[in-house]
Amino acid sequence: QWFRAYGNENWEFAEDGLMQLRHSSINEHPITQAQRKFHWPLGRRPDDHPGLGELGL
């Protein structure tokens, strides 16, 4: 099953640049495989795949 996640996140970082606090409210909505925007194996997004802006997100 595939899901689309949406919501809000607030991050607070420490002096050393590491995240020290995270508050989030995230909802998931089930989608079909045809509605997926990303289609690559687990791992880093390939350099030639469109980014979020190019996908209209």
- Asked whether 23 and 7 are in contact (CB, 8 A), the reply is no
Whole-number Å distance between alpha carbons of 2 and 36: 8
- pLDDT tens string 1-57: 899 999 999 999 999 999 999 999 999 999 999 998 888 888 898 998 888 888 887
Closest CA to 57 of 39, 43, 40, 37: 37
User: Any long-range contacts for 24-28 (C-beta under 8 Å, 24+ apart)?
Assistant: 28/3, 28/4
What's the full length of the chain, in residues? 57
The confidence score (pLDDT) of residue 42 equals 84
Q: How is residue 29 written in tokens? A: 């909505």
The confidence score (pLDDT) of residue 40 equals 84
Q: What is the DSSP letter of 45?
A: P
Question: Taking the domains of the chain in order of start, what are their residue ranges?
Answer: 2-35
